[in-house]
Amino acid sequence: MKRTITHLADGRELFYFDRHDDADRGAIDKRDLPPRPPASELRYDPLTEEWIAVAGHRQGRTFLPPASECPLCPSTLGNLTEVPSSAYDVVVFENRFPSFSAQRGEHHQVGGLSEVRPGTGRCEVVCFTSDHGSSFSELSAGQVELVMEAWIDRTAELSAMPGVEQVFCFENRGAEIGITLAHPHGQIYAYPYVTPRTRLSLGAAERHRERTGGNLFADVLAAEREAGIRVVASNEHWTAFVPAAARWPVEVHLYPHRQVPDLGGLEPAERAAFGPLYTEVLRRLDGLFGVPMPYVAAWHQAPVNVGRELSYAHLELFSIRRAPDKLKYLAGSESAMGAFVNDVLPEETARLLRSLVTG
């Protein structure tokens, strides 16, 4: 793998990840871009003990442009994009409309009990392929490995940045999920705090260790593999299963068989084995209702400074689609109380996914 770093016209960093060492990445960004926006604000909610990012500049971000104007495609004479080269394998760059950044800005004094501080951190975009009409499920095993190398590279560098407490790699796919760009891509957030979901999981893991001496995530995986009824697919190094207490109508978790805190801890064989299993699961999702499945794919990795011995890197994949023509909306119970009600039996979801022929 070859990694090349360059800069866009407004100073943002861009990284090319190539399969071949002779890739030419000398193209220059010729656009006239406005100054980068200031950092967002973080406001503390004393009722939930959570930080909320307020990033008003994101209201102006690009929204579902036609394919001919896609900012994630390679640049052409008629469409200068975020990627100066005329072709690429995998590319990562700083988000032009970030939720967190190292830029300086003025911040409001809001009074009350809410503490306010700068939203220091970083947000990056990961383009999985230069093919606008493709999807992650269509990537070759080698291309998925290259994407994973990009995730690993960026996780390591972002984790070393001052103030970063957690790195989150994810993909939003589908208009129903709320994407603003249709090109196959994901994002990486470098948070200046440990996220609420991770704090809850690590708290449960710590209590489980005190009770049993075991690792909660490893024990969940072992129990699901033994039960078998919710396992969707597996290979030598990974297992994909529907969790017994799935929140979403379609939800699959992918675990490596060996506990590692983050993606960088995976051995070469484990990295290589991920792609074939994951793309198989994605094809099963697309076949479930006969339409492309909208989904969120979320990598759970250890925070930078706490809970690393408790953590177990794994992927959470879920969709809001519950039928070919129906979506699961987060209404009163879920949105107001955080109390999920799933309309679909997890065992039935697993059975249906297993029954599909993926080719």
Burial per residue of 93-118, b for 16 or more beta-carbon CB atoms within 10 angstroms, e otherwise:
bbbbbbbbbbbeeebeeeeeeeeeeb
Binding site for Zn(2+): which residues?
70, 73, 132, 183
From 185, 237, 253, 314, active-site residue: 185
Residue with tokens 């679909």: 344
β-pairing, 295-300 with 166-173?
A: antiparallel
Which neighbouring-strand residues pair with 94?
Answer: 124
Distance CA 234, CA 72 (A): 33
Of 290, 92, 300, 83, nearest to 186 (Cα)?
Answer: 92
- Per the CB < 8 A criterion, the answer to whether 100 and 189 are in contact is yes
Binding site: which residues?
70, 73, 132, 183
Of 223, 284, 19, 46, nearest to 141 (Cα)?
Answer: 19
* Tokens of residue 295, six digits: 């989904």
Residue 253 annotated in active site: no
DSSP string, 114-171: --EEE--SEEEEEE--S-TT--GGG--HHHHHHHHHHHHHHHHHHHTSTT--EEEEEE
CA 21 to chain centre: 28
N-to-C CA span, the chain: 29
- Per the CB < 8 A criterion, the answer to whether 65 and 76 are in contact is no
DSSP string, 171-233: EEESGGGT-S--SSEEEEEEESS--HHHHHHHHHHHHHHHHHSS-HHHHHHHHHHHH-TTEEE
Can you give the length of the chain in residues? 359
Distance CA 25, CA 1 (A): 14
Residue numbers annotated as active site: 185
